[in-house]
Amino acid sequence: MMASSNPAVIQTCGLSKRYRKVTALSEATLTVPQGRISALIGPNGAGKTTLLRLLAGLARPTGGEVAVLGGAPRQDPAFLAEIGFVAQEIPLYRRLSAEDHIGVGAHLNPRWDAASVRQRLKGLNIPLDQTVGTLSGGQRAQVALSLTLAKRPRLLLLDEPVAALDPLARRQFLAHLAEAVAGGGLTVVLSSHLLADLERVCDHLILLAASRVQLCGDIDTVLAEHQVLVGPRKDTTAIEKAHTLVQATHTARQSTLLIRVGGPVVDPAWEAADVGLEELVLGYMGQHAGPAFSHLTSVGEDQ
Amino acid sequence: MISFRLDGRSVVPPYLQIVQQVRQALRMGVLDVGDKLPTVREVVAATAVNPNTVLKAYRDLERDGLVEPRAGHGTFVVGRPSGPPPGTHSRLARSLAQWVRGAREAGLDDESIESLLRITLQAAADEEETA
């Protein structure tokens, strides 16, 4: 029997990366199925860029296992032909035009779709003959994405590609990305802090905090597994027996609990509500932020 | 052909917004049996929504017998939601708009209009129950 009709494009088990004394990524176990657009979310320094570099074969793990498209990531032409990686500082030659880049790409890539880049950039009114350095940030990001997609990769890794773009350029970039995925055969991992954008375009989530994977799965499933309970301030021991307490915030009279649901909530003192993506992400981030941050979430009217 | 508007701040999930907009277009007569829905790719390119969100919406509409995918051609309308024939809604919408104008002229704000509507609906329901 085949295990699944939707094989994992990324599969890691206990993946770790240490730089001298600093642990950048610790025991990361995660799966990204084919065809997903996965949101890689976490505070600065949580290990997002390290994870992307490990997946792209740009860094070597110091522990654990990683399989990308069925094999270990490595710097060889066969593997790199399947992967598109756009780093945070958009990797283009500022003095070359888009057309020059198309020429370079044709030399370096076996399946190079130059026509798709020209068609896409013309559709966005981005001049092909102007040096890339004179284009706007949004236009440069579109050029980089078009060039990366021209490789016809099976996995696209994007490190904060829209952080510096205005809302319209962001929407156009993400629409371009989603359209490429709709064409079939492409899986994307996209790191960003812009939750509203991610919620629209992504259907899968990897949440990193304190160099560990806190959550990984389809967004609908992950949201359905969590609830917020609001009730009069009381001891949470009973709740913690049946559920996993992610975050508790208290005022003198009221408690608000974010839980990973382990069964029905039976105590009628608690009012249960569904969780949105933003609330969930902030809950997990706050849990690991330490006292300097956590006091901000628990300021109450009576304190 | 229709286009979708997806509101990121709405509590209604995006796939359900698509389902509701197709149903609404069918009720208003904007869409009819035989019409083609935009392809997943077209919706995604216009809205930056995840392709699986559109697929999920179209599957929901298919399960309710409203649309049908035809391999290589797209998704087509094959049925209408139960209810009055198309045109009824737009006719009623016009007379309601006229009523709302009258209410505004009489000095009612939106909140008063909404509560008046609720009271009227409740009274109509009570009447049907006793009838």
What region, left, alpha or beta, does residue B72 occupy, with left being phi > 0 and alpha being psi -120 to 50 degrees?
left
Decide which of A167, A192, A221 is a domain's last residue.
A221
* Residue of chain A whose Cα is closest to the Cα of B14: A200
CB pair distance less than 8 Å for A175 and B51: no
Q: Do the domain assignments include residue A189?
A: yes
Do B52 and A203 lie within an 8 Å CB cutoff?
A: yes
If asked whether residues A186 and A253 sit together in one domain, one would say: no
Residues A74 and A117 placed together within one structural domain of the fold: yes
Question: Which residues in chain A touch residue B14, judged by CB atoms under 8 angstroms apart?
Answer: 200
Same domain membership, residue A284 and residue A251: yes
Q: Identify the closest residue of chain A to B55 by CA–CA distance.
A: A182
Tell me the nearest-neighbour CA distance from A142 into chain B, angstroms.
Answer: 14
Looking at residue B35, what is its pLDDT?
Answer: 95
Count A/B contacts: CB-CB distance under 8 Å.
47
A188-247 pLDDT, tens digit each? 999 998 888 898 999 999 999 989 999 999 999 999 999 999 999 888 888 888 899 999
User: Does residue A216 share a domain with residue A96?
Assistant: yes
Taking only the tens place, the pLDDT of each residue in B22-52 is 999 998 888 999 999 999 999 999 999 999 9
For residues A158 and A257, membership in a common domain is answered with: no
- Contact assignment for B14 to A196 by CB distance below 8 Å: no
Domain membership of residue A1 (yes or no) is: no
Q: Is residue A122 part of a domain?
A: yes
For residue B115, pLDDT beyond 80: yes
State the SS3 of B10-64: CCCCHHHHHHHHHHHHHHHCCCCCCCECCCHHHHHHHHCCCHHHHHHHHHHHHHC
Contacts of B54 in chain A (CB under 8 A): 182
Domains and CATH numbers, chain B: 14-77 (1.10.10.10), 88-130 (no CATH)
Domain boundary among A221, A244, A273: A221
Regarding whether A278 and A205 lie in a shared domain, the answer is: no
pLDDT of residue B87: 76
A55 with A153, same domain: the answer is yes
User: A168 and A105, same structural domain?
Assistant: yes
Asked which of A50-54, A89-93, A129-133, B126-130 is least confident by mean pLDDT, the reply is: A89-93
- What is the count of structural domains for chain A? 2
What pTM did the predictor assign?
Answer: 0.82
Q: Residues B9-18: contacts with CB within 8 Å, 24+ apart?
A: B14/A200, B14/B49, B14/B50, B14/B53, B15/B53, B15/B54, B15/B56, B15/B57, B15/B60, B16/B57, B18/B43, B18/B53, B18/B54, B18/B57, B18/B58
Q: Which helix (H) or strand (E) holds B77?
A: strand B74-77
Tell which of B10, B11, B52 to mutate to test the A interface (max A CBs under 10 Å).
B52
Contact criterion met (CB < 8 Å) for A201 and B49: yes
Q: Find which of B4, B16, B50 to mutate to test the A interface (most A CBs within 10 Å of its CB).
A: B50
Choose one of A175, A192, A221: the last residue of a domain.
A221
Average predicted confidence (pLDDT) for chain A: 88
Give tens-digit pLDDT for A19-48.
988 999 999 999 999 999 999 999 888 999
Q: How far is A202 from chain B (nearest CA, A)?
A: 6
Q: Which of B40, B48, B53 is the closest to A174 by Cβ?
A: B48
For residue A290, the model assigns a pLDDT of: 54
Domain with residue A86: its CATH number is 3.40.50.300
Same domain, A91 and A230: no
Q: Are A191 and A88 in contact (CB under 8 A)?
A: no
Residues A242 and A195 in one domain: no
Q: What pLDDT does B46 receive?
A: 92
Interface check for B47 against chain A (CB to CB < 8 A): the answer is yes
Q: For chain A, list the strands marked E by DSSP.
A: 8-19, 22-33, 37-41, 63-68, 83-86, 155-159, 187-191, 204-209, 212-218, 226-232, 244-250, 254-260, 271-274
pLDDT of res. A289: 64
- The pLDDT score that the predictor gives to residue A298 is 41
User: Is residue B53 within 8 angstroms of chain A, CB to CB?
Assistant: yes
- Look at residue A4 and tell me whether its pLDDT is greater than 60: no
Whether residues A131 and A237 fall in one domain: no
Q: Is the pLDDT of residue A254 over 70?
A: yes
ipTM above 0.95, yes or no: no
> Which residue range(s) make up the domain with A277?
225-297
Q: Are residues A87 and A101 in the same domain?
A: yes
